[in-house]
Amino acid sequence: MRSLYCKERYRMRIAVITGASSGMGRDFVRQLSAIEKYDEIWAIARRRERLEELKKELGDFIRPVCLDLSEKESIEEYERMLIAEKPDVAVLVNASGFGYFKQFDKAPLDGYYKMIALNDAAMVGLTYVTLPFMKENAKIYNICSVAAFQPTPYINIYSATKAFALNFTRALNVELRPRGIKALAVCPFWTRTEFFDTAVSDDTITYYQCYTESRDVVTKAIKDMKKKGRDVSICGRTAQFNAFLTKILPHKFVMRVWCGQQKKPY
Ligand SMILES: NC(=O)c1ccc[n+]([C@@H]2O[C@H](COP(=O)([O-])OP(=O)(O)OC[C@H]3O[C@@H](n4cnc5c(N)ncnc54)[C@H](OP(=O)(O)O)[C@@H]3O)[C@@H](O)[C@H]2O)c1
């Protein structure tokens, strides 16, 4: 009877990390698991073999969860997992996402719908259904981008999805303060990941370099999460300077400079 009572009371403590099959999501899995002990890390992405590799690398506490998060049904499936297992979700990382470097009307409309569904709707949905399973001191990392700070021609829809993600996260952080839960908007600059395999299909955008390493963005985000009052994490001086300029300069000027860099008319 006593053991049954204890079993009922015990809530598995987990981290949920999307985009776990590569780039920053995968680095979040590696770094968070090195810092803290979780009963399980639910590693979410579509490529099962990558998630299985991560499990082999880190241990059986990695639970591969294969979901296409651009589908509403996947969010419902994830919610059913939460309801069935009733875990204590200590950390949620929304790191899945993709973009196109394309003139607006040259990329497929279906692709835009998927991008909005993944970069924004899934972030909202996953956060919404996870919150009932979070306690005081829980943490939410939402991967946005420095592209969130200004309109960005030729990365238009991606940049707009990230502006949504940034505003959503900062406002959410305020709303969650009374519950002692923190939400952090992580805004990377160009970062060396597989992101570019999807984003780049031609030479629409030519002026960019991978300035940052994925693991450094993640290390900085984990540090910034601990800082009182910090709701945005920007890794590296170039990225921070870039963000500062977009705050003080008129956005028309910022767009003109960007178009000049990309050899596009303004
Ligand atoms: N790299 C950069 O320069 C940069 C800069 C600023 C912001 N970001 C943002 O950082 C986040 C992480 O990207 P990354 O740079 O690490 O790129 P990445 O290496 O391409 O990782 C993207 C992740 O998202 C997952 N994903 C893509 N479509 C999905 C779907 N439909 N359902 C579920 N998972 C999906 C991918 O896994 P599967 O393919 O296995 O599903 C992968 O794990 C993204 O939100 C990106 O927009 C990147």
Residue 4 is assigned to a structural domain of this protein: no
| Ligand 1 midpoint to CA 95 (Å) | 6
Each residue's pLDDT tens digit, 94-104: 999 999 999 99
Distance CA 74, CA 125 (A): 10
Each residue's pLDDT tens digit, 109-151: 999 999 999 999 999 999 999 999 999 999 999 999 999 999 9
In the structure, what pLDDT confidence band is assigned to residue 178 with cuts at 50, 70 and 90?
very high
Q: Hey, what are 211's tokens?
A: 């300035």
Residue 1 is assigned to a structural domain of this protein: no
Q: What is the pLDDT of residue 2?
A: 43
Residue 2 is assigned to a structural domain of this protein: no
| Ligand 1 midpoint to CA 44 (Å) | 11
In the structure, what pLDDT confidence band is assigned to residue 6 with cuts at 50, 70 and 90?
very low
Q: What is the pLDDT of residue 8?
A: 55
Residue 196, domain CATH: 3.40.50.720
Number of domains in the chain: 1
What residues line ligand 1, using a CB cutoff of 6 Å?
Answer: 19-25, 45-47, 50, 68-70, 95-99, 118, 143, 145, 188, 190-191, 193-195, 214
Domain that holds residue 230: 11-261
> CA dist 123 to 33, 95, 127, 169, 224, Å?
22, 9, 6, 10, 20
What mean pLDDT do residues 48-74 have? Answer: 98
Residue 73 is assigned to a structural domain of this protein: yes
Nearest to 184 by CA among 133, 229, 214, 219: 229
| Ligand 1 midpoint to CA 264 (Å) | 27
Each residue's pLDDT tens digit, 210-260: 789 999 999 999 999 999 999 999 999 999 999 999 999 999 999 999 999
Which residue, judged by its Cα, is nearest atom 42 of ligand 1? 19
**Nearest atom, ligand 1, residue 20 CA:** 43
Distance CA 127, CA 121 (A): 10
| Ligand 1 midpoint to CA 117 (Å) | 13
pTM equals: 0.96
**Nearest atom, ligand 1, residue 114 CA:** 31
Q: What is the pLDDT of residue 9?
A: 65
pLDDT tops 60 at residue 3: no
Residue 6 is assigned to a structural domain of this protein: no
Residue 246 is assigned to a structural domain of this protein: yes
Residue 142 is assigned to a structural domain of this protein: yes
Residue 181 is assigned to a structural domain of this protein: yes
| Ligand 1 midpoint to CA 247 (Å) | 26
